[in-house]
Amino acid sequence: MAAPPNSTTFSGDVWAELRLADARDVPHIHRLTHQMAEFELLTDLFAATEELLTTTLFPSPTPPPFTSFTALILDLSPSPIVPDASSTIASRRLDLSASPLADPEAAAFASPRGGGRVTAGFVICFPNYSTFLSKPGLYVEDIFVRAPWRRRGLGRMMLSAVAGRAAELGMGRVEWCVLDWNKNAIDFYEGMGADVLPQWRICRLAGAALDKYKGSQEEAAGGKAAE
């Protein structure tokens, strides 16, 4: 089958690197997040902007990785990647000799690191806490791989790297959510050893429901003072 027009074809050896993101990656993070919202049929909830992503994910000074909001980027390169001790979280080599891969968005997702790299996915995670375990953990807010690069073991590489870092830091667990209709993802997570917990439900205050509580602390303090 012919590759789509304007696509870039990757074949033979390709190198994958999961690395710490920085502010230069924000345009790609924004586009990847929108693609994820499209896949999850949740574009009506998408309100992210590049400005908000920059200020919330990459404040100055930036906290150490995995102690606050941590963004990781998955880059693919047609040439070997030399791991950088300050930013590389995981890396591996893919052999695409038997199944070359056409990426129609390679140019749009050219990595800011250069060298012919393309950005293929991302992870956002941050610390949480379990009183039952009396230990911190990591919550994975987002994990996403662009469509051409799926089913290549890259999602497993990304989640394994996050879980490995949590274990190395002595954390108690790693948690995330999955949509109940996404059977492929559920099967994948269970295959990695994760428990899917049907007895729990997500509770959320957002938008107007959250805004109505503005000033509630002042009201409570005022009522207490009047007693």
Active-site residue list = 189
| In contact, 75 and 119? CB cutoff 8 Å | yes
**H-only helix segments in the chain:** 26-39, 50-57, 154-168, 183-191, 207-211, 216-226
CB 149 within 8 A of CB 109: no
Among residues 176, 171, 141, 154, the alpha carbon closest in space to that of 18 is found at 154
What residues pair up with 15 in beta bridges, in sequence order? 77, 93
The secondary element (H helix, E strand) that includes residue 140 is strand 135-145
Report the 10 Å Cβ neighbour count for 82: 9
How would you class 227 by CB atoms within 10 Å of its CB: exposed for 0-12, middle for 13-18, buried for 19 or more?
A: exposed
**Whole-angstrom Cα distance, residue 83 to residue 16?**
10
d(CA 77, CA 80): 7
